[in-house]
Structure 1
Amino acid sequence: MSDKLLGEDRRNYILNLLKQSQEPLTGSELAKQANVSRQVIVGDITLLKAKNEPIMATSQGYVYMEKEPATKFERIIASYHPPERTEEELQLIVDYGVTVKDVTIEHPIYGDLKASVMVSNRREVGLFMEQIKKKKAALLSELTEGYHLHTISAQNEEQLDEVEEALKRAGFLVIPS
């Protein structure tokens, strides 16, 4: 695109790019496409979210979240591990065909803090971990000495049961006493 798009036309263009993309799009990619700065894109995404567009920021970029099919099953699991076992935990989960949607911790000041993870396969886990290392970002679980929750989703309850059992065997699952 050679001309700079303005206002609502640009936001509609961004929205269409996100809806059509099978992969997350970074702010820089969207900025290049729309011939504006990345900061303008950040503002546009904020305005689109304010209009209830289901756009999620992930470590790989922005994604448009289509409504999930009703066949998806979800569960929240309580997990514990040191930071160096994060990749192992995520890979174990996705190896069962289960998606890790988010991570939540209980902060003493802010209460529940939730962040998108959105990984469904080993490639996405690798990209997620690469971004953590590249940006030298702390994991939310580091604020709670390794304790955290994950929302996980799958096509059926059996997958969720299987991954929960595997997490228990690997020592990741927090089991109530």
Structure 2
Amino acid sequence: MGQDGAKILGENRRLLILQWLKESDKPLTGSDLSKRTNVSRQIIVQDISLLKARNEPIIATSQGYILFNAERKELRLERVIACQHSPEDTKNELYTIVDNGGTVKDVTVEHPLYGDLTASLFVSNRLEADQFLSKLSVTNASLLSELTSGVHLHTIEASSQSQIEAVCRALKDQGFLLNQD
């Protein structure tokens, strides 16, 4: 097969990946996409990068790849909150947010060299929080907040202002919310 044939296969694979992301109501992992397309996970990572370069709204989360849904965003309210806690309190922080109706959209820290570093999380319930924490443990990775003595920002989203307020009150009660005075 010539080089043009390989390009067609790659382009067809990327179109399939995009279609699967559109049809899925949950994140798809690179490993799952790799198995479905019979290519390596590294090829999937490259395909996702190419799709993102075409402005496809794909977000890499700790649970896998999702397609950003603009319609969903219109129905949700967002607030950026500043938190600080030890790595051992991460589970409690995540549970506090999701138990009060919030979704942890992302985490951001300010790095002295790179500026703001943001990672997408999209943790909406305890199962997703547990999956994130399990992946953290298995990979032996560090939390971004460990770069900043536990100080970090979260973009939280919820269906109503009262849910966002409940999240903030609960985080303040736990001592996780930085004083915003």
TM-score, with structure 1 as normaliser: 0.94
SS in 1 for 2:81: strand
Residue 87 of structure 1 aligns with an amino acid whose one-letter code is K
1:169 lines up with 2:173 in the alignment: yes
SS in 1 for 2:169: helix
1:7 lines up with 2:6 in the alignment: no
1:47 lines up with 2:50 in the alignment: yes
Runs of 4+ residues deviating >3 angstroms: none
Match of 2:3 in 1: none
1:36 lines up with 2:39 in the alignment: yes
Residue 6 of structure 1 aligns with an amino acid whose one-letter code is L
1:118 lines up with 2:122 in the alignment: yes
Which structure carries more helix by proportion?
A: 2
SS in 1 for 2:74: coil
Q: Distance in 2 between matches of 1:81 and 1:122?
A: 19
Q: How many residues align?
A: 174
TM-score, with structure 2 as normaliser: 0.92
What is the Cα deviation at residue 60 of structure 1?
1.5
Q: 2:106 aligns with which of 98, 102, 106?
A: 102
What is the Cα deviation at residue 32 of structure 1?
1.1
What is the Cα deviation at residue 176 of structure 1?
3.6
Q: Distance in 1 between matches of 2:26 and 2:159?
A: 21
Q: Distance in 2 between matches of 1:160 and 1:176?
A: 15
For structure 2, the 5+ residue unaligned runs are 1-5
SS in 1 for 2:130: helix
Report the CA distance shift for 1:71/1:22 in structure 2 as closer, same or farther (over 3 A): closer
Match of 2:139 in 1: 135
Q: Distance in 2 between matches of 1:176 and 1:101?
A: 20
Residue 138 of structure 1 aligns with an amino acid whose one-letter code is S
Q: Distance in 1 between matches of 2:136 and 2:93?
A: 15
Which range moved further: 142-151 or 18-27? 18-27
What is the Cα deviation at residue 83 of structure 1?
0.2
Q: 1:92 aligns with which of 70, 89, 96?
A: 96
What is the Cα deviation at residue 69 of structure 1?
4.0
Q: 1:60 aligns with which of 52, 59, 63?
A: 63
- Identity, % of aligned positions: 56
Q: Distance in 1 between matches of 2:174 and 2:138?
A: 27
RMSD value over aligned CA atoms? 1.3
What is the Cα deviation at residue 71 of structure 1?
2.5
Q: Distance in 2 between matches of 1:59 and 1:166?
A: 24
Once the two structures are superposed, residues 72-92 of structure 1 have per-residue CA deviations (whole angstroms, 9 ceiling, x without a partner) of: 110000000000000100000
